[in-house]
Amino acid sequence: MHPITRSGARLRLRELTITDVEALVALYGSPAATEHLSLEPRNREQVEQVVAWSVAQATVTPRTEYALAVIQSETAELIGSGRLALDPHQQRGATMGFALRPDVWGRGYGVETVRLLLSVGFNDLRLHRIWGARSPLNQASAKTMSAAGMVEEGTIREHVLKAGEWRDSIVHAILDREFFRSP
- Confirm or reject binding of residue 134 to ligand COA (CB under 6 A): yes
- Confirm or reject binding of residue 130 to ligand COA (CB under 6 A): no
Q: How many CB atoms lie within 10 A of CB 177?
A: 10
Residues 5-34 interacting with ligand COA (rule: CB under 6 A): 33
Q: Closer to ligand COA by CB, 2 or 134: give it.
A: 134
Task: Please say whether the beta carbons of 79 and 104 come within 8 A.
Answer: yes
Q: Give the three-class secondary structure for 28.
A: helix
Residues 153-182 interacting with ligand COA (rule: CB under 6 A): none
Near ligand COA by CB under 6 A: residue from 82, 110, 121, 149:
110
Radius of gyration of the chain (CA): 15
Q: Closer to ligand COA by CB, 107 or 177: give it.
A: 107
Strands 129-134 and 93-100 come out as parallel
Helix residue ranges per DSSP H, the chain: 21-28, 31-34, 44-57, 109-119, 139-147, 176-181
Interaction mask 47-86, ligand COA, x per CB under 6 A: ----------------------------------------
- Confirm or reject binding of residue 94 to ligand COA (CB under 6 A): no
Q: How many CB atoms lie within 10 A of CB 107?
A: 13
Q: What's the closest the beta carbon of residue 147 comes to ligand COA, in angstroms?
A: 4
Task: Please say whether the beta carbons of 142 and 170 come within 8 A.
Answer: yes
Contact set with ligand COA (CB under 6 A)? 33, 36-37, 97-100, 105-111, 132, 134, 138-141, 143-144, 147
